[in-house]
């Protein structure tokens, strides 16, 4: 697409404040408002350990609860600055921005993408797609598909409307998404899956989707999101 190509010719504009930046995706001021997830992070869910919570390889959530997915990784810590980015992606579906984040995900976590047969987005309910015009996870899946060439498939469906998760407790979130998804996979055997969403908070949505995919035959499930909350 013409706009995609021309994007790289112009001076880079900060993704957050839209002022000119010195070649980076954030200007110096905004760079301080975002946190890239770097080690130490939980070896299972990829959440950043906050100071004092680092003991061993797993966060408390992964240690105490069953994670049905095999691995999850995120690019940014979900803080105020990154929340703005996610809202922007949800409102505009900005493909240039999302593609840059996808490139970063592929470079940082190349091991997540090896031996993956299919990339599957966490679905939105049809009423939200009607309101917004697209599913934010679809935009990320497109970026990852274009970069890696791995096939994509929208076999997951949201069969039940679920309320927004952000004001709910952990238990409420698990209940909220229980039996909310179905899988309409047909064709070759479903094997190794890359499951994609915009944000991971407790991981209950990724877990529930992973359950449905494993019931449908999936062997290995790796998850990627743009952002995730701090490890508990």
Using rule CB under 5 A, residue 68 touches Zn ion: no
Give every CB contact of residue 65 below 8 A, 6+ residues apart in sequence.
none
CA 166 to the chain's CA centroid: 15
Looking at 29-37, 116-124, 127-135, 221-229, which segment touches Zn ion (CB under 5 A)? 29-37
Residue of the chain from 25, 34, 37, 62 that contacts Zn ion (CB under 5 A): 62
At residue 158, the 3 state secondary structure works out as strand
When computed from its CA atoms, the radius of gyration of the chain, rounded to whole angstroms, is 17
Minimum separation from the CB atom of position 133 to Zn ion (A): 27
Minimum separation from the CB atom of position 29 to Zn ion (A): 5
| Strand 71-77 with 220-228, pairing | parallel
Looking at 26-34, 93-101, 204-212, 216-224, which segment touches Zn ion (CB under 5 A)? 26-34
CB–CB of 138/154 below 8 Å? yes
Minimum separation from the CB atom of position 187 to Zn ion (A): 33
Which of 168, 172, 218, 228 lies closest to 198 in space, CA to CA? 228
Using rule CB under 5 A, residue 27 touches Zn ion: yes
Residue 178 in tokens: 């229980």
Using rule CB under 5 A, residue 42 touches Zn ion: yes
CB–CB of 72/229 below 8 Å? no
Looking at 14-22, 77-85, 158-166, 178-186, which segment touches Zn ion (CB under 5 A)? 14-22
Residue of the chain from 25, 34, 37, 45 that contacts Zn ion (CB under 5 A): 45
Using rule CB under 5 A, residue 116 touches Zn ion: no
Which of 101, 109, 78 lies closest to 227 in space, CA to CA? 78
Residues 99 and 49: their CA atoms lie apart, in Å, by: 27
Minimum separation from the CB atom of position 28 to Zn ion (A): 8
**Residue 14 or 137 having the CB closest to Zn ion:** 14
The residues of the shown chain that bind Zn ion, judged by CB under 5 A, are 14, 16-17, 27, 30, 42, 44-45, 59, 62
């Amino acid at each position: 697409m013409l706009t995609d190509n021309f994007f790289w010719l112009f001076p880079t504009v900060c993704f957050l404040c839209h002022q000119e930046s010195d070649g980076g995706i954030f200007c110096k001021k905004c760079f301080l408002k975002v946190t890239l997830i770097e080690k130490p992070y939980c070896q299972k869910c990829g959440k950043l350990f906050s100071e004092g919570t680092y003991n061993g390889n797993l966060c408390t959530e992964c240690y105490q609860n069953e994670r049905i997915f095999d691995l999850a990784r995120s690019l940014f810590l979900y803080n105020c600055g990154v929340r703005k980015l996610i809202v922007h992606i949800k409102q505009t579906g900005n493909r240039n921005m999302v593609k840059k984040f996808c490139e970063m995900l592929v470079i940082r976590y190349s091991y997540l993408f090896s031996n993956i047969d299919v990339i599957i987005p966490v679905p939105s309910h049809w009423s939200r797609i009607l309101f917004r015009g697209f599913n934010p996870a679809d935009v990320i899946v497109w970026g990852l598909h274009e970069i890696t060439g791995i096939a994509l498939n929208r076999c997951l469906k949201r069969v039940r409307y679920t309320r927004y998760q952000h004001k709910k407790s952990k238990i409420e979130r698990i209940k909220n998404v229980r039996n909310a998804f179905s899988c309409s996979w047909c064709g070759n055997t479903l094997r190794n899956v890359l499951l994609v969403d915009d944000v991971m908070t407790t991981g209950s949505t990724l877990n529930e989707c992973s359950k449905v995919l494993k019931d449908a035959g999936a062997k290995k499930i790796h998850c990627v999101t743009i952002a995730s909350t701090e490890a508990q």
